[in-house]
Amino acid sequence: MEEKADLYLWENLLNGDNNALSDIYKRYVDDLYSYGLKISGNESLVKDCIQEVFIRLMANRKNLVAGSNIHVYLFKSLRSRLLDEMRSGNRRSEILNTKTRFEEEENSPSVEAVTIQNEEQSHIKKKLQTALEGLTEKQREIIFLKFTEGLNYDEISTILGIDKASARTLLYRTLKLIKANIKMKGLILFLFMRYFKK
Amino acid sequence: MENNFLNSEFTELITNDDFVRMVKDAQDTDKLLNDLVMQCPQNSNDLKYAVEFIRIAREDKQKMQTADSERILKNIQNNPVGKDGRTILFRRLANSKVAAIALLVLAIGALVMFSKQDSLKQFAHKNEVSQNDAMIVLSDGSKHILNENELDINYNSKEGEVVVQKEESVVATIKNEPKNKREFNEVIVPYGQRQHVVLNDGTSVELNAGSKLVFPAVFSGNNRTVYLIGEGYFDVTKDSNRPFIVKTDFIDVKVYGTEFNVTAYKDEELASAVLVEGSVSVKQSDKILKKQALFIKPGEACFYSTVNEELEIKDIDVDLYISWKDGIYNFKDVPLSYVITRVKKYYNVEITVENADLLETKLSGKLLITGDIEEVIQYISRAVECRYEKPKEGNYFLSKY
């Protein structure tokens, strides 16, 4: 479904339909924004780069091939633009003092009357979030592409500019690391201890 | 339901497309989790982690603020490069590969710029900043008085029209269809006011009291040049092919897309460019061939002293220089004399200080300039421990106890 709509939009864009541009933009702006923030965490840099990506898309549209995957094209362009900008160093000072989403999203203190299930659930959530925070930028990026965006290995490897096997390995290692960091076995004991403390 | 993968461990579960789809499509993931645990209680731990993981990942999206998102879309649609894909490629080639030609073009370009700049400068000094009314002067010379403070003057909403708004509602629509689009327009802000202008390329300029901005109704050619007298906060629409140049009596500031503050009041000793983000270069006006441009980074400012005619780059606290646009003057260790020149401009009042040593008193802190002038004077006199009188309306007299 989604892919068909994308192909149709792409077709229209190549034929010079300006509505297609704004449709594509609206469809992907938040995804691009979320992805950009995974790479740099600097909001204004990400916004600038998104603008640039679309301006270049319009400028180059005559050279584009029908049937390309818009999602992948946009993500790949944004990524290389962001990395270029970050490498050029202009923004480095800003990049340092920005936060990632996981840090911002502290769990609100639980209410007095929590059921055991809720307590367990929020404990699980917290553990997973801590595990995700511990990842490197690159690892977080692949988690985002695979799970938040739901892209497949073909698409991910194109965006990251690596081969499919490397993408698989990167993801596999990342998941293993997450699993090691959450140490699921400790959970039950932990819950009991908290229960008796009360 | 046949779910033979339910016994898998955590990493297998979350990489199983069927499992992911199931969580994704579930209306109530809590209920789904309960069902799964019932079906496969021996694997409840991994199931719980896996469902929660998918849930966290799917919620890990940021929504861009609507205003930002709309502004960017507009910039994209208005970008002239979009209409002709060749522009970028052509320029890039000229920049990197054919250096000799580029140099030649640059030299000729400089000459053209000289003459153009002179006309811009002459134009900028034709109408002096009025003491009373804010106004827009169109390219045909017609003047439109603005009766209110803090308006939004928009050159970017429709071609051939200037739309004036006060807090989102339209106050006036002025026809502006010059024969020659390159002719200049200007916005004049008298002492005691502030106005906001959106230029034809989407660049936003907050103009402080006692300022003037000269610009073409429509930017054409390969740069975007404006002339500023006074103080302005610029949020420049990014366009890597057309630099944005702010010329002043003292310094020229060149950028590609960034936020920065420029101060160039005729009656102040220092002109400055303060960079909020991006990268800009600054050079002395009228000295294109003599002096090199200096580049400043975010968090730095370039000062030009009108006394010894030198440029200097310093690390600064950006907030001190830009907070005026949010209605706060932020001072750090400055003499009372400086605070007074600022307040005089901002409120369009006369302030006299009896004792010279009082003028040297150093002040730090924030001055709220959205309120009444009386409050501001009270605040200042309390800070420097002096008394004030008001001999007549708009006139204040400070003296020692």
Q: According to the model, what pLDDT value does residue B324 have?
A: 80
Separation in Å, CA A91 to CA A46, A116, B298? 11, 47, 8
Q: Where are the beta strands (DSSP E) in B256-309?
A: 259-264, 270-277, 280-284, 294-296, 300-305
Q: Could you state, in order of their start, the residue ranges of all structural domains in chain A?
A: 2-96, 111-197
Contacts B257 to A, Cβ<8 Å? 48
Give the integer Cα–Cα distance in Å for A48 and B277.
Answer: 11
Q: Which residue has the tokens 């140099």?
A: B103
Q: According to the model, what pLDDT value does residue B82 have?
A: 36
Closest residue to A55, CB basis, from B56, B60, B76 = B76
The yes/no answer on whether domain A111-197 falls in CATH 1.20.58.340 is no
Q: B10 Cβ partners below 8 Å, 6+ apart? A: A175, A179, A184, B46, B49, B50, B53
User: Residue B50 corresponds to which tokens in the numbers above?
Assistant: 């896996």
Interface test with A, best of B15, B25, B45, B49 (most A CBs within 10 A): B49
Q: According to the model, what pLDDT value does residue B290 have?
A: 53
* 8 Å CB contact of A59 and B61: no
Contacts A148 to B, Cβ<8 Å? 57-58, 60-61
User: For residue A150, which of B152, B331, B20, B10 has the smallest C-alpha distance?
Assistant: B20
Say if residues B334 and B301 touch (Cβ distance below 8 Å): no
B81 close contact with A: CB closer than 8 A: yes
Nearest CA in chain A to B71: A51
How many CA atoms within 13 Å lie on the side-chain side of B255?
28
A47 close contact with B: CB closer than 8 A: yes
Closest residue to A61, CB basis, from B24, B85, B277 = B85
Contacts A62 to B, Cβ<8 Å? 85
Domain A2-96: which CATH class? Answer: mainly alpha
Measure A193 CA to nearest chain B CA, in Å.
18
Say if residues B277 and A92 touch (Cβ distance below 8 Å): no
A101 close contact with B: CB closer than 8 A: yes
Taking CB atoms and an 8 Å cut-off, how many pairs form between chains A and B?
123
* 8 Å CB contact of A34 and B62: yes
Contacts B42 to A, Cβ<8 Å? none
Measure A51 CA to nearest chain B CA, in Å.
6
Mean pLDDT of A116-130: 80
Q: Give the three-state DSSP class for A40.
A: coil
User: Residue A57 corresponds to which tokens in the numbers above?
Assistant: 């898309």
Task: List the domains of chain B with CATH numbers.
Answer: 4-59 (no CATH), 86-319 (2.60.120.1440), 327-400 (3.55.50.30)
**Taking 90 as the threshold, does the pLDDT of residue A145 lie above it?**
yes
Mean pLDDT of A168-189: 77
Q: According to the model, what pLDDT value does residue A3 have?
A: 65
Give the integer Cα–Cα distance in Å for B154 and B350.
Answer: 32
B287 close contact with A: CB closer than 8 A: no
Bigger pLDDT: A93 vs B304: B304
Sign (positive/negative) of CA torsion B271, B256, A86, A102? positive
Nearest CA in chain B to A153: B15
Q: How high is the mean pLDDT in each 10-residue block of chain B (401 residues)? A: 76 90 88 89 89 90 87 80 34 29 33 49 67 81 84 85 84 78 81 88 89 88 87 85 86 79 80 81 67 79 80 82 78 84 85 86 78 82 85 87 77
- Backbone dihedral region of B196: left (phi > 0), alpha (psi from -120 to 50 degrees) or beta? beta
Nearest CA in chain B to A35: B61
Residues 13-42 of A with CB under 8 A from B: 18, 21-22, 25-26, 29-31, 33-34, 37
- Strands B251-255 and B280-284, by their bridges, are antiparallel
**Taking 60 as the threshold, does the pLDDT of residue A48 lie above it?**
yes
Q: According to the model, what pLDDT value does residue B196 have?
A: 92
Measure B34 CA to nearest chain A CA, in Å.
10
Amino acid at B358: L
Measured from the Cβ of residue B343, the count of other Cβ atoms closer than 10 Å reads: 22
Q: According to the model, what pLDDT value does residue A36 have?
A: 93
Q: According to the model, what pLDDT value does residue A30 have?
A: 93
Task: DSSP for A69-116, please give it.
Answer: -HHHHHHHHHHHHHHHHHHH-TTHHHHHT---HHHH-PPPPPPSS--H
Interface test with A, best of B52, B66, B238, B296 (most A CBs within 10 A): B52
Give the integer Cα–Cα distance in Å for A3 and A67.
Answer: 10
Contacts A37 to B, Cβ<8 Å? 62
